[in-house]
Amino acid sequence: MTRAIPLEAVLVVAAALFCIGLFGALSRRNLVGVLMGVELMLNSVNINLVAFWRYLEPQNITGPAFTIFIITVAAAEAAVGLAMIIAIYRNWDTVNADSVDSLKG
């Protein structure tokens, strides 16, 4: 089966997206920005799974099924995360990760 775009190209895009997400999650000060970084990481996984399915095992539904589960759980996770950010904002009047530091030692 030949295609215009090779599998490797799709995987490189996913890996790049994962790295951008990881960098964003680690470097952003804003908690909402951190959350967006995590979402990018999860979406790169989705691209990986769908690409593997389409190029290697198109008759077997495991890849897209896994993707649907990830999308659903990511939505639940984002809901919890945003609720946490609201609680942080109410307590600290900021969503800057550096200012939230009452616990240390």
Question: What is the contact surface with other proteins in residues (CB under 8 A)?
Answer: 11, 18, 21-22, 25, 31, 34-35, 38, 41-42, 44-45, 48-49, 52-53, 56-57, 59-63, 65-66, 69-70, 73, 76-77, 80-81, 84-85, 87-88, 90-92, 97, 100-105
User: Which residue type occupies 56?
Assistant: L
- The Cα–Cα gap between 10 and 14 comes to 6
Residue whose C-alpha is closest to residue 45's, from 7, 6, 18: 18
Q: How far is the CB of 104 from other proteins (least distance, A)?
A: 7
Question: What separation in angstroms does the CA of 52 have from each of 22, 44, 62, 64?
Answer: 22, 12, 10, 10
Please choose, from the candidates 103, 84, 90, 99, the residue with its C-alpha nearest in 3D space to the C-alpha of residue 32: 84
